[in-house]
Protein backbone atom coordinates (compact mmCIF):
# COMPACT_ATOMS: atom_id res chain seq x y z
CA UNK A 1 0.00 0.00 0.00
CA UNK A 2 1.32 3.41 -0.96
CA UNK A 3 1.33 6.48 1.30
CA UNK A 4 3.73 8.62 -0.68
CA UNK A 5 0.89 11.01 -1.43
CA UNK A 6 -0.21 11.10 2.20
CA UNK A 7 3.36 11.58 3.33
CA UNK A 8 3.66 14.59 1.07
CA UNK A 9 0.46 16.04 2.52
CA UNK A 10 1.69 15.50 6.08
CA UNK A 11 5.04 17.05 5.34
CA UNK A 12 3.43 20.06 3.68
CA UNK A 13 0.87 20.23 6.47
CA UNK A 14 3.56 20.22 9.14
CA UNK A 15 5.60 22.93 7.38
CA UNK A 16 2.78 25.35 6.65
CA UNK A 17 0.78 25.06 9.84
CA UNK A 18 3.82 25.66 12.02
CA UNK A 19 4.68 28.97 10.40
CA UNK A 20 1.73 30.28 8.41
CA UNK A 21 0.63 32.90 10.97
CA UNK A 22 3.16 32.98 13.76
CA UNK A 23 6.50 31.94 12.26
CA UNK A 24 8.32 35.01 13.59
CA UNK A 25 10.05 37.66 11.59
CA UNK A 26 12.13 35.31 9.49
CA UNK A 27 9.26 33.38 7.95
CA UNK A 28 9.87 29.71 7.40
CA UNK A 29 13.09 28.42 8.90
CA UNK A 30 15.89 27.26 6.70
CA UNK A 31 16.05 23.49 6.33
CA UNK A 32 19.80 23.29 5.89
CA UNK A 33 23.10 24.78 6.93
CA UNK A 34 23.84 27.06 9.86
CA UNK A 35 26.04 26.94 12.92
CA UNK A 36 25.11 23.96 15.12
CA UNK A 37 21.77 23.94 13.29
CA UNK A 38 21.08 27.67 13.83
CA UNK A 39 20.72 30.19 11.01
CA UNK A 40 24.05 32.04 10.62
CA UNK A 41 22.43 35.27 9.45
CA UNK A 42 20.12 35.30 12.47
CA UNK A 43 23.06 34.71 14.82
CA UNK A 44 25.12 37.50 13.25
CA UNK A 45 22.22 39.92 13.30
CA UNK A 46 21.49 39.24 16.98
CA UNK A 47 25.17 39.68 17.79
CA UNK A 48 25.18 43.01 15.92
CA UNK A 49 22.04 44.14 17.78
CA UNK A 50 23.58 43.20 21.11
CA UNK A 51 26.52 45.60 20.62
CA UNK A 52 24.57 48.92 20.82
CA UNK A 53 22.18 47.42 23.39
CA UNK A 54 24.98 46.43 25.78
CA UNK A 55 26.83 49.70 25.13
CA UNK A 56 23.75 51.72 26.06
CA UNK A 57 23.19 49.68 29.23
CA UNK A 58 26.71 49.66 30.70
CA UNK A 59 28.26 52.96 29.57
CA UNK A 60 27.37 56.35 30.98
CA UNK A 61 25.91 58.13 27.98
CA UNK A 62 23.39 60.90 27.57
CA UNK A 63 19.70 60.08 27.33
CA UNK A 64 19.54 60.90 23.64
CA UNK A 65 22.60 58.78 22.90
CA UNK A 66 21.13 55.87 24.84
CA UNK A 67 17.87 56.22 22.91
CA UNK A 68 19.76 56.19 19.59
CA UNK A 69 21.70 53.09 20.64
CA UNK A 70 18.50 51.30 21.67
CA UNK A 71 16.78 52.25 18.40
CA UNK A 72 19.77 50.84 16.51
CA UNK A 73 19.54 47.61 18.51
CA UNK A 74 15.78 47.33 17.95
CA UNK A 75 16.02 48.02 14.22
CA UNK A 76 18.91 45.60 13.63
CA UNK A 77 17.16 42.83 15.57
CA UNK A 78 13.61 43.37 14.40
CA UNK A 79 13.43 45.30 11.14
CA UNK A 80 11.90 42.29 9.40
CA UNK A 81 9.34 41.93 12.19
CA UNK A 82 8.11 45.45 11.48
CA UNK A 83 8.17 44.89 7.70
CA UNK A 84 6.27 41.62 8.14
CA UNK A 85 3.69 43.30 10.37
CA UNK A 86 3.01 46.08 7.85
CA UNK A 87 2.92 43.64 4.91
CA UNK A 88 0.46 41.32 6.64
CA UNK A 89 -1.71 44.24 7.66
CA UNK A 90 -1.86 45.77 4.16
CA UNK A 91 -1.84 42.70 1.90
CA UNK A 92 -3.55 40.08 4.05
CA UNK A 93 -5.48 42.42 6.34
CA UNK A 94 -4.43 40.24 9.24
CA UNK A 95 -2.95 41.08 12.62
CA UNK A 96 -0.17 38.71 13.62
CA UNK A 97 2.33 38.38 16.41
CA UNK A 98 4.70 40.53 14.33
CA UNK A 99 2.37 43.50 14.77
CA UNK A 100 1.92 42.85 18.48
CA UNK A 101 5.67 42.83 19.03
CA UNK A 102 6.16 45.92 16.86
CA UNK A 103 3.51 47.84 18.82
CA UNK A 104 5.00 46.71 22.12
CA UNK A 105 8.51 47.80 21.11
CA UNK A 106 7.41 51.17 19.67
CA UNK A 107 5.22 51.93 22.69
CA UNK A 108 8.12 51.25 25.03
CA UNK A 109 10.18 53.89 23.22
CA UNK A 110 7.27 56.35 23.37
CA UNK A 111 7.09 56.13 27.18
CA UNK A 112 10.85 56.55 27.49
CA UNK A 113 11.72 52.90 28.11
CA UNK A 114 14.00 52.45 25.11
CA UNK A 115 15.92 49.59 26.71
CA UNK A 116 12.60 47.71 27.11
CA UNK A 117 11.73 48.35 23.46
CA UNK A 118 15.07 47.04 22.25
CA UNK A 119 14.87 44.06 24.62
CA UNK A 120 11.46 43.16 23.16
CA UNK A 121 12.92 42.74 19.66
CA UNK A 122 16.15 41.05 20.74
CA UNK A 123 14.44 38.54 23.02
CA UNK A 124 11.65 37.91 20.54
CA UNK A 125 14.09 37.15 17.73
CA UNK A 126 16.28 35.04 20.03
CA UNK A 127 13.30 33.02 21.17
CA UNK A 128 12.07 32.71 17.60
CA UNK A 129 15.48 31.41 16.51
CA UNK A 130 15.35 28.68 19.16
CA UNK A 131 11.72 28.01 18.34
CA UNK A 132 12.49 27.52 14.65
CA UNK A 133 15.43 25.32 15.54
CA UNK A 134 13.22 23.07 17.70
CA UNK A 135 10.47 22.91 15.08
CA UNK A 136 12.97 22.19 12.29
CA UNK A 137 14.62 19.36 14.22
CA UNK A 138 11.29 17.86 15.22
CA UNK A 139 9.92 17.92 11.68
CA UNK A 140 13.15 16.63 10.19
CA UNK A 141 13.22 13.55 12.42
CA UNK A 142 9.61 12.72 11.61
CA UNK A 143 9.87 13.56 7.91
CA UNK A 144 12.97 11.41 7.46
CA UNK A 145 11.13 8.37 8.75
CA UNK A 146 8.02 9.12 6.71
CA UNK A 147 10.07 9.36 3.52
CA UNK A 148 11.87 6.11 4.32
CA UNK A 149 8.56 4.38 5.03
CA UNK A 150 7.05 5.65 1.79
CA UNK A 151 10.01 4.33 -0.19
CA UNK A 152 9.41 0.84 1.21
CA UNK A 153 5.78 0.69 0.07
CA UNK A 154 4.51 -0.22 -3.39
CA UNK A 155 2.94 2.53 -5.43
CA UNK A 156 -0.85 2.66 -5.22
CA UNK A 157 -2.72 5.93 -4.65
CA UNK A 158 -5.26 6.09 -1.82
CA UNK A 159 -7.91 8.63 -0.96
CA UNK A 160 -6.08 11.92 -0.46
CA UNK A 161 -9.12 14.00 0.39
CA UNK A 162 -9.42 12.37 3.79
CA UNK A 163 -5.70 12.76 4.31
CA UNK A 164 -6.04 16.53 4.25
CA UNK A 165 -8.59 16.75 7.04
CA UNK A 166 -7.57 18.75 10.11
CA UNK A 167 -8.47 17.89 13.67
CA UNK A 168 -11.02 20.05 15.51
CA UNK A 169 -8.19 21.30 17.75
CA UNK A 170 -6.27 22.59 14.72
CA UNK A 171 -9.37 24.17 13.18
CA UNK A 172 -10.13 25.88 16.47
CA UNK A 173 -6.60 27.20 16.91
CA UNK A 174 -6.45 28.53 13.33
CA UNK A 175 -9.75 30.39 13.69
CA UNK A 176 -8.96 31.39 17.25
CA UNK A 177 -5.69 33.04 16.21
CA UNK A 178 -7.34 35.08 13.48
CA UNK A 179 -9.86 36.67 15.88
CA UNK A 180 -7.93 36.46 19.11
CA UNK A 181 -4.89 38.51 18.03
CA UNK A 182 -6.85 41.65 17.02
CA UNK A 183 -8.86 41.29 20.22
CA UNK A 184 -5.65 41.27 22.26
CA UNK A 185 -4.54 44.50 20.58
CA UNK A 186 -7.86 46.22 21.32
CA UNK A 187 -7.87 44.97 24.92
CA UNK A 188 -4.37 46.34 25.42
CA UNK A 189 -5.54 49.78 24.29
CA UNK A 190 -8.56 49.53 26.59
CA UNK A 191 -6.35 48.39 29.44
CA UNK A 192 -4.20 51.50 29.03
CA UNK A 193 -7.23 53.74 29.58
CA UNK A 194 -8.47 51.62 32.48
CA UNK A 195 -5.06 51.78 34.20
CA UNK A 196 -4.85 55.55 33.86
CA UNK A 197 -8.49 56.56 34.28
CA UNK A 198 -9.78 54.01 36.80
CA UNK A 199 -6.70 53.00 38.77
CA UNK A 200 -5.10 56.44 38.52
CA UNK A 201 -1.74 55.08 37.35
CA UNK A 202 0.73 57.27 35.54
CA UNK A 203 0.51 57.26 31.75
CA UNK A 204 3.84 55.45 31.33
CA UNK A 205 3.00 52.86 33.99
CA UNK A 206 -0.45 52.28 32.49
CA UNK A 207 1.01 51.68 29.03
CA UNK A 208 3.78 49.48 30.46
CA UNK A 209 1.29 47.14 32.13
CA UNK A 210 -0.87 47.04 29.01
CA UNK A 211 2.18 46.10 26.95
CA UNK A 212 2.92 43.19 29.28
CA UNK A 213 -0.62 41.95 28.62
CA UNK A 214 -0.13 42.50 24.87
CA UNK A 215 3.04 40.42 24.72
CA UNK A 216 2.06 37.62 27.08
CA UNK A 217 -1.33 37.07 25.45
CA UNK A 218 0.23 36.03 22.11
CA UNK A 219 -0.97 32.47 21.21
CA UNK A 220 2.23 31.56 19.33
CA UNK A 221 3.12 28.55 21.50
CA UNK A 222 -0.25 26.89 20.94
CA UNK A 223 -0.42 27.72 17.23
CA UNK A 224 2.92 25.97 16.67
CA UNK A 225 2.88 23.11 19.19
CA UNK A 226 -0.59 21.71 18.49
CA UNK A 227 -0.12 20.97 14.73
CA UNK A 228 3.40 19.74 15.48
CA UNK A 229 2.07 17.26 18.07
CA UNK A 230 -0.29 15.79 15.47
CA UNK A 231 2.53 15.67 12.94
CA UNK A 232 4.81 13.86 15.41
CA UNK A 233 2.05 11.50 16.53
CA UNK A 234 1.24 10.50 12.95
CA UNK A 235 4.95 9.99 12.27
CA UNK A 236 5.33 7.87 15.41
CA UNK A 237 2.41 5.71 14.33
CA UNK A 238 3.98 5.19 10.89
CA UNK A 239 7.11 4.03 12.67
CA UNK A 240 5.23 0.96 13.95
CA UNK A 241 3.19 0.31 10.81
CA UNK A 242 0.06 2.37 11.57
CA UNK A 243 -0.91 5.13 9.13
CA UNK A 244 -3.29 7.86 10.26
CA UNK A 245 -4.51 9.58 7.09
CA UNK A 246 -5.27 12.84 8.92
CA UNK A 247 -4.98 14.60 12.26
CA UNK A 248 -8.79 14.44 12.45
CA UNK A 249 -8.42 10.64 12.53
CA UNK A 250 -6.12 10.94 15.55
CA UNK A 251 -8.71 12.98 17.43
CA UNK A 252 -11.63 10.73 16.52
CA UNK A 253 -9.72 7.56 17.45
CA UNK A 254 -8.75 9.04 20.81
CA UNK A 255 -12.39 9.77 21.67
CA UNK A 256 -13.94 6.49 20.43
CA UNK A 257 -15.11 3.97 23.03
CA UNK A 258 -16.89 1.49 20.75
CA UNK A 259 -15.31 -1.03 18.39
CA UNK A 260 -17.02 -3.24 15.81
CA UNK A 261 -14.87 -5.62 13.79
CA UNK A 262 -15.47 -7.93 10.89
CA UNK A 263 -14.64 -11.53 11.72
CA UNK A 264 -11.71 -11.50 9.32
CA UNK A 265 -10.12 -8.47 11.01
CA UNK A 266 -9.58 -9.95 14.46
CA UNK A 267 -11.02 -13.41 14.84
CA UNK A 268 -9.83 -15.44 11.89
CA UNK A 269 -6.61 -15.63 9.93
CA UNK A 270 -6.39 -15.49 6.15
CA UNK A 271 -6.25 -19.27 5.80
CA UNK A 272 -8.47 -22.33 6.15
CA UNK A 273 -8.05 -25.71 7.81
CA UNK A 274 -9.69 -29.07 7.05
CA UNK A 275 -12.38 -29.64 9.67
CA UNK A 276 -13.87 -32.92 8.41
CA UNK A 277 -13.53 -35.56 5.68
CA UNK A 278 -16.61 -37.65 4.78
CA UNK A 279 -16.73 -40.65 2.43
CA UNK A 280 -19.01 -43.65 2.10
CA UNK A 281 -16.73 -45.51 -0.31
CA UNK A 282 -13.20 -45.23 1.10
CA UNK A 283 -11.19 -44.46 4.20
CA UNK A 284 -11.08 -40.76 5.06
CA UNK A 285 -7.27 -40.78 5.12
CA UNK A 286 -7.19 -42.26 1.61
CA UNK A 287 -9.67 -39.66 0.31
CA UNK A 288 -7.49 -36.91 1.80
CA UNK A 289 -4.38 -38.46 0.22
CA UNK A 290 -5.99 -38.60 -3.23
CA UNK A 291 -7.24 -35.02 -2.81
CA UNK A 292 -3.75 -33.80 -1.86
CA UNK A 293 -2.25 -35.35 -4.98
CA UNK A 294 -5.04 -33.93 -7.13
CA UNK A 295 -4.51 -30.43 -5.70
CA UNK A 296 -0.70 -30.71 -5.77
CA UNK A 297 -0.25 -27.98 -8.40
CA UNK A 298 -3.02 -25.65 -7.20
CA UNK A 299 -2.39 -22.54 -5.10
CA UNK A 300 -6.01 -22.07 -4.03
CA UNK A 301 -6.61 -21.48 -0.31
CA UNK A 302 -8.60 -24.73 -0.04
CA UNK A 303 -5.91 -26.65 -1.93
CA UNK A 304 -3.31 -25.38 0.53
CA UNK A 305 -5.50 -26.50 3.44
CA UNK A 306 -5.88 -30.00 1.97
CA UNK A 307 -2.13 -30.39 1.42
CA UNK A 308 -1.44 -29.09 4.95
CA UNK A 309 -3.92 -31.58 6.46
CA UNK A 310 -2.41 -34.49 4.48
CA UNK A 311 1.14 -33.52 5.43
CA UNK A 312 2.65 -36.44 3.56
CA UNK A 313 4.83 -36.98 0.49
CA UNK A 314 3.40 -36.05 -2.91
CA UNK A 315 4.36 -38.48 -5.70
CA UNK A 316 4.31 -36.36 -8.84
CA UNK A 317 4.55 -39.36 -11.15
CA UNK A 318 1.25 -40.67 -9.74
CA UNK A 319 -0.81 -37.92 -11.36
CA UNK A 320 -1.00 -36.49 -14.87
CA UNK A 321 -3.07 -34.07 -16.90
CA UNK A 322 -3.59 -31.44 -14.19
CA UNK A 323 -6.16 -28.83 -15.20
CA UNK A 324 -7.62 -26.06 -13.08
CA UNK A 325 -10.99 -24.37 -13.64
CA UNK A 326 -10.93 -21.04 -11.71
CA UNK A 327 -13.82 -20.70 -9.31
CA UNK A 328 -14.93 -24.28 -9.95
CA UNK A 329 -12.33 -27.00 -9.31
CA UNK A 330 -9.47 -29.10 -10.65
CA UNK A 331 -9.03 -32.42 -12.44
CA UNK A 332 -6.19 -34.93 -12.92
CA UNK A 333 -5.73 -38.47 -14.18
CA UNK A 334 -4.55 -40.96 -11.59
CA UNK A 335 -3.73 -44.46 -12.85
CA UNK A 336 -5.96 -43.76 -15.87
CA UNK A 337 -8.91 -42.65 -13.74
CA UNK A 338 -10.35 -39.13 -13.95
CA UNK A 339 -10.39 -37.41 -10.56
CA UNK A 340 -12.40 -34.20 -10.07
CA UNK A 341 -12.45 -31.97 -6.98
CA UNK A 342 -14.48 -28.79 -6.71
CA UNK A 343 -17.82 -27.15 -6.01
CA UNK A 344 -21.12 -29.05 -5.94
CA UNK A 345 -22.09 -27.69 -9.36
CA UNK A 346 -18.70 -28.61 -10.82
CA UNK A 347 -18.88 -32.20 -9.54
CA UNK A 348 -22.58 -32.60 -10.40
CA UNK A 349 -21.66 -32.24 -14.06
CA UNK A 350 -19.12 -35.06 -13.71
CA UNK A 351 -21.23 -37.68 -11.92
CA UNK A 352 -24.81 -38.89 -11.82
CA UNK A 353 -24.61 -40.07 -8.22
CA UNK A 354 -24.26 -36.71 -6.42
CA UNK A 355 -26.11 -36.93 -3.07
CA UNK A 356 -28.70 -34.27 -2.25
CA UNK A 357 -27.57 -33.87 1.37
CA UNK A 358 -26.91 -30.44 2.80
CA UNK A 359 -23.24 -29.64 3.23
CA UNK A 360 -21.46 -26.84 5.05
CA UNK A 361 -20.79 -23.72 2.98
CA UNK A 362 -17.03 -24.27 2.88
CA UNK A 363 -16.90 -27.73 1.27
CA UNK A 364 -15.40 -29.31 -1.83
CA UNK A 365 -16.62 -32.54 -3.41
CA UNK A 366 -14.75 -35.35 -5.16
CA UNK A 367 -15.60 -37.79 -7.93
CA UNK A 368 -13.48 -40.64 -9.26
CA UNK A 369 -14.21 -42.44 -12.49
CA UNK A 370 -17.59 -40.70 -12.79
CA UNK A 371 -18.70 -41.68 -9.28
CA UNK A 372 -19.12 -39.45 -6.25
CA UNK A 373 -16.68 -40.51 -3.48
CA UNK A 374 -16.96 -37.89 -0.73
CA UNK A 375 -16.45 -34.32 0.47
CA UNK A 376 -13.97 -32.28 2.48
CA UNK A 377 -15.18 -29.47 4.76
CA UNK A 378 -13.12 -26.48 5.90
CA UNK A 379 -13.17 -24.05 8.80
CA UNK A 380 -11.37 -20.78 9.36
CA UNK A 381 -8.36 -20.75 11.63
CA UNK A 382 -8.47 -18.54 14.70
CA UNK A 383 -6.09 -15.58 14.43
CA UNK A 384 -3.07 -16.17 16.63
CA UNK A 385 -3.29 -13.74 19.52
CA UNK A 386 -6.96 -12.86 18.84
CA UNK A 387 -7.89 -13.07 22.53
CA UNK A 388 -4.91 -10.93 23.49
CA UNK A 389 -5.77 -8.38 20.79
CA UNK A 390 -9.35 -8.03 22.06
CA UNK A 391 -8.14 -7.70 25.66
CA UNK A 392 -5.63 -5.03 24.65
CA UNK A 393 -8.33 -3.10 22.77
CA UNK A 394 -10.52 -3.19 25.88
CA UNK A 395 -7.63 -2.07 28.10
CA UNK A 396 -6.89 0.78 25.66
CA UNK A 397 -10.28 2.30 26.44
CA UNK A 398 -12.88 0.63 24.20
CA UNK A 399 -15.81 -0.14 26.49
CA UNK A 400 -17.86 -2.14 23.96
CA UNK A 401 -16.54 -4.63 21.37
CA UNK A 402 -18.72 -6.47 18.85
CA UNK A 403 -18.13 -8.82 15.90
CA UNK A 404 -20.06 -8.83 12.61
CA UNK A 405 -19.79 -11.55 9.98
CA UNK A 406 -21.32 -12.36 6.63
CA UNK A 407 -21.31 -16.03 7.67
CA UNK A 408 -24.09 -17.59 9.73
CA UNK A 409 -21.85 -19.86 11.80
CA UNK A 410 -23.01 -19.90 15.43
CA UNK A 411 -19.68 -21.42 16.56
CA UNK A 412 -17.97 -18.26 15.26
CA UNK A 413 -20.27 -16.13 17.42
CA UNK A 414 -19.66 -18.30 20.47
CA UNK A 415 -15.93 -18.10 19.85
CA UNK A 416 -16.11 -14.29 19.65
CA UNK A 417 -17.75 -14.15 23.08
CA UNK A 418 -15.20 -16.59 24.48
CA UNK A 419 -12.33 -14.43 23.23
CA UNK A 420 -13.75 -11.30 24.87
CA UNK A 421 -16.30 -9.67 22.53
CA UNK A 422 -19.46 -8.28 24.12
CA UNK A 423 -21.82 -9.12 21.26
CA UNK A 424 -21.90 -10.65 17.78
CA UNK A 425 -24.05 -10.37 14.66
CA UNK A 426 -24.12 -13.12 12.02
CA UNK A 427 -25.36 -13.31 8.43
CA UNK A 428 -24.63 -9.64 7.71
CA UNK A 429 -24.17 -8.59 4.07
CA UNK A 430 -22.33 -5.27 3.46
CA UNK A 431 -25.44 -3.09 3.91
CA UNK A 432 -26.35 -4.88 7.13
CA UNK A 433 -22.85 -4.37 8.54
CA UNK A 434 -23.20 -0.62 8.00
CA UNK A 435 -26.67 -0.71 9.56
CA UNK A 436 -25.27 -2.47 12.66
CA UNK A 437 -22.65 0.27 13.00
CA UNK A 438 -25.41 2.90 12.93
CA UNK A 439 -27.52 0.94 15.39
CA UNK A 440 -24.71 0.45 17.89
CA UNK A 441 -23.63 4.07 17.58
CA UNK A 442 -27.16 5.36 18.25
CA UNK A 443 -27.56 2.93 21.15
CA UNK A 444 -24.52 4.21 23.05
CA UNK A 445 -24.17 7.82 21.84
CA UNK A 446 -23.42 10.47 22.97
CA UNK A 447 -21.54 9.00 25.94
CA UNK A 448 -19.59 6.63 23.69
CA UNK A 449 -17.55 9.37 22.02
CA UNK A 450 -17.43 7.55 18.69
CA UNK A 451 -17.27 4.15 17.03
CA UNK A 452 -14.42 2.34 15.26
CA UNK A 453 -14.94 -0.30 12.58
CA UNK A 454 -12.11 -2.61 11.52
CA UNK A 455 -12.32 -4.72 8.37
CA UNK A 456 -10.19 -6.28 5.65
CA UNK A 457 -12.39 -6.85 2.62
CA UNK A 458 -14.46 -5.09 -0.02
CA UNK A 459 -17.68 -6.04 1.81
CA UNK A 460 -16.49 -3.97 4.79
CA UNK A 461 -16.25 -0.66 2.91
CA UNK A 462 -19.78 0.55 3.72
CA UNK A 463 -19.30 -0.12 7.43
CA UNK A 464 -15.89 1.57 7.40
CA UNK A 465 -17.43 4.67 5.82
CA UNK A 466 -20.33 4.62 8.28
CA UNK A 467 -18.10 4.53 11.36
CA UNK A 468 -16.45 7.57 12.93
CA UNK A 469 -13.12 5.85 12.37
CA UNK A 470 -12.50 3.12 9.80
CA UNK A 471 -9.50 0.82 10.07
CA UNK A 472 -8.22 -1.19 7.11
CA UNK A 473 -5.34 -3.62 6.67
CA UNK A 474 -2.86 -3.47 3.82
CA UNK A 475 -2.42 -7.23 4.19
CA UNK A 476 -6.04 -7.88 3.15
CA UNK A 477 -7.13 -9.65 -0.02
CA UNK A 478 -8.18 -6.36 -1.65
CA UNK A 479 -7.31 -2.68 -1.18
CA UNK A 480 -10.92 -1.44 -1.07
CA UNK A 481 -10.94 -1.28 2.73
CA UNK A 482 -7.57 0.47 2.70
CA UNK A 483 -8.84 3.19 0.37
CA UNK A 484 -11.93 3.83 2.49
CA UNK A 485 -10.21 3.68 5.88
CA UNK A 486 -9.08 6.59 8.06
CA UNK A 487 -6.34 4.42 9.58
CA UNK A 488 -4.35 1.79 7.69
CA UNK A 489 -2.49 -0.99 9.46
CA UNK A 490 0.35 -2.48 7.44
CA UNK A 491 0.24 -6.24 7.26
CA UNK A 492 -2.42 -8.20 9.13
CA UNK A 493 -1.48 -7.66 12.78
CA UNK A 494 -4.75 -7.01 14.63
CA UNK A 495 -2.81 -6.19 17.81
CA UNK A 496 -1.99 -2.83 16.21
CA UNK A 497 -5.61 -1.71 16.64
CA UNK A 498 -5.01 -1.26 20.36
CA UNK A 499 -1.71 0.48 19.63
CA UNK A 500 -3.49 2.93 17.33
CA UNK A 501 -6.01 3.75 20.06
CA UNK A 502 -3.29 4.21 22.68
CA UNK A 503 -1.13 6.33 20.42
CA UNK A 504 -4.01 8.65 19.53
CA UNK A 505 -4.90 9.06 23.21
CA UNK A 506 -1.29 9.78 24.12
CA UNK A 507 -1.00 12.35 21.32
CA UNK A 508 -4.11 14.09 22.59
CA UNK A 509 -2.78 13.96 26.15
CA UNK A 510 0.40 15.72 25.00
CA UNK A 511 -1.73 18.41 23.35
CA UNK A 512 -3.56 19.02 26.62
CA UNK A 513 -0.27 19.15 28.52
CA UNK A 514 0.91 21.88 26.16
CA UNK A 515 -2.33 23.84 26.55
CA UNK A 516 -2.28 23.73 30.35
CA UNK A 517 1.44 24.50 30.54
CA UNK A 518 1.28 27.46 28.15
CA UNK A 519 -1.86 28.95 29.65
CA UNK A 520 -0.60 28.39 33.19
CA UNK A 521 2.69 30.23 32.62
CA UNK A 522 1.04 33.04 30.69
CA UNK A 523 -1.64 33.49 33.34
CA UNK A 524 1.00 33.74 36.07
CA UNK A 525 2.93 36.40 34.13
CA UNK A 526 -0.28 38.30 33.39
CA UNK A 527 -1.07 38.44 37.10
CA UNK A 528 2.44 39.69 37.85
CA UNK A 529 2.13 42.25 35.06
CA UNK A 530 -1.21 43.49 36.39
CA UNK A 531 0.51 44.42 39.67
CA UNK A 532 3.48 45.95 37.89
CA UNK A 533 5.86 43.19 39.02
CA UNK A 534 6.62 41.72 35.57
CA UNK A 535 8.66 44.04 33.29
CA UNK A 536 8.13 44.00 29.54
CA UNK A 537 11.33 42.08 28.78
CA UNK A 538 10.23 39.32 31.16
CA UNK A 539 6.88 39.09 29.33
CA UNK A 540 8.70 38.58 26.03
CA UNK A 541 10.90 35.95 27.62
CA UNK A 542 7.83 34.16 28.99
CA UNK A 543 6.11 34.24 25.60
CA UNK A 544 9.02 32.77 23.65
CA UNK A 545 10.20 30.69 26.59
CA UNK A 546 7.05 28.55 26.77
CA UNK A 547 7.10 27.84 23.04
CA UNK A 548 10.33 25.83 23.01
CA UNK A 549 9.30 23.42 25.85
CA UNK A 550 5.89 23.02 24.21
CA UNK A 551 7.53 22.16 20.88
CA UNK A 552 9.87 19.65 22.51
CA UNK A 553 6.96 18.12 24.43
CA UNK A 554 5.07 17.75 21.15
CA UNK A 555 7.99 15.76 19.78
CA UNK A 556 7.37 13.14 22.50
CA UNK A 557 4.37 11.98 20.46
CA UNK A 558 6.84 10.58 17.91
CA UNK A 559 8.48 8.29 20.47
CA UNK A 560 5.48 7.48 22.65
CA UNK A 561 5.16 3.99 24.17
CA UNK A 562 2.03 2.17 22.96
CA UNK A 563 2.25 -0.76 25.38
CA UNK A 564 0.63 -1.17 28.74
CA UNK A 565 -2.83 -0.40 30.11
CA UNK A 566 -4.52 2.85 29.23
CA UNK A 567 -4.88 5.49 31.93
CA UNK A 568 -7.63 8.03 32.10
CA UNK A 569 -7.01 11.53 30.90
Active-site residue, 262 included: yes
Are 366 and 350 spatial neighbours (Cβ–Cβ below 8 Å)?
no
Backbone dihedral angles phi then psi of residue 29, each to the nearest 5 degrees: -70, 150
C-alpha distances in Å from residue 379, one per residue of 271, 367, 389, 554: 9, 22, 21, 47
Residues contacting 256, CB < 8 A, separation 6+: 398, 448, 449, 450, 451, 452, 468, 469, 501
- Residue 505 to residue 493: CA distance in whole angstroms: 20
Which of 431, 430, 413 has its CA nearest to residue 422? Answer: 413
Please name which of 285, 554, 312, 267 lies closest in space to residue 417, comparing C-alpha atoms: 267
Whole-number Cα distances in Å, 201 to 198, 216, 268, 361: 8, 21, 75, 88
Cα-based distances in Å from 461 to 266, 412, 472, 502: 16, 22, 9, 24
Sheet architecture: strand order including 469-473: 242-244, 487-489, 469-473, 451-454, 258-262, 400-404, 423-425
Which is nearest to 115 in space by CA: 68, 48, 47? 68
Give the helix, strand, coil percentages of the chain, each rounded to 5.
60, 15, 25
Catalytic residue (choose from 262, 460, 468, 543): 262
Q: Are 209 and 231 in contact (CB under 8 A)?
A: no
- Number of neighbours of residue 313 by Cβ within 10 angstroms: 9
CA separation for the pair 488, 454 (Å, rounded):
10
- DSSP 8-class letter at 334: E
User: Catalytic site residues?
Assistant: 262
Amino acid sequence: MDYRGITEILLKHGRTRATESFGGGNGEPSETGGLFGFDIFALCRLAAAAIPFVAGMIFSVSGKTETVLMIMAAVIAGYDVLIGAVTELIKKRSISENLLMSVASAAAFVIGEGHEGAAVMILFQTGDMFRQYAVRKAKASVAEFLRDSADEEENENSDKNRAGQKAESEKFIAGFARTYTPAVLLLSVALTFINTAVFQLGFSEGISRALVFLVVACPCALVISIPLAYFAGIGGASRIGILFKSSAAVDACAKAKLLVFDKSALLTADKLRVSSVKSETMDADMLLRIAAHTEAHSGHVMARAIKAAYDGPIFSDAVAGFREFPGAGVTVKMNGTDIFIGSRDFISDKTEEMPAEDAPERSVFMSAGGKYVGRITFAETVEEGAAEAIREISDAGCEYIAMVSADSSEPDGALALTLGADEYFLGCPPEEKAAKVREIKSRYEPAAGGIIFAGRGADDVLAIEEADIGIGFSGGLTNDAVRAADIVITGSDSAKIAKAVRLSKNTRRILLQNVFFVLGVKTAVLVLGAFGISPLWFAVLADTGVTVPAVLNSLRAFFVDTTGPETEE
